[in-house]
Structure 1
Amino acid sequence: QPFARLDVRYYSPLCLLIGLGFAVLAITEFST
């Protein structure tokens, strides 16, 4: 199933980026 591999390739980095985004937001909120 090539589509499954494509999903993993595209969605895993998206999840990481989203996680980093939330982490940055949390850090900025806690620092202020």
Structure 2
Amino acid sequence: MVAENTLSKIESWYTRTLSEEDPFIKFMCEYI
């Protein structure tokens, strides 16, 4: 599915970024 593919892309991007100070990442953490 497209949603699962997008989610895995976001997960790998998040793992690479590891910036919890970022408001967008903080939002993604709370959203997921």
Shorter chain as denominator, the TM-score bin is 0.5 to 0.7
Runs of 4+ residues over 3 Å off in structure 1: none
The structure whose RCO (Cα within 8 Å, separation 6+) is larger is 2
TM-score normalised to the size of structure 1? 0.54
TM-score normalised to the size of structure 2? 0.54
For these two proteins, the number of residue pairs brought into alignment is 19
Structure 2 Cα separation of the partners of residues 19 and 29 of structure 1:
15
Structure with higher helix content:
1
| Larger Cα-atom Rg | 1
Identity over aligned pairs, percent: 11
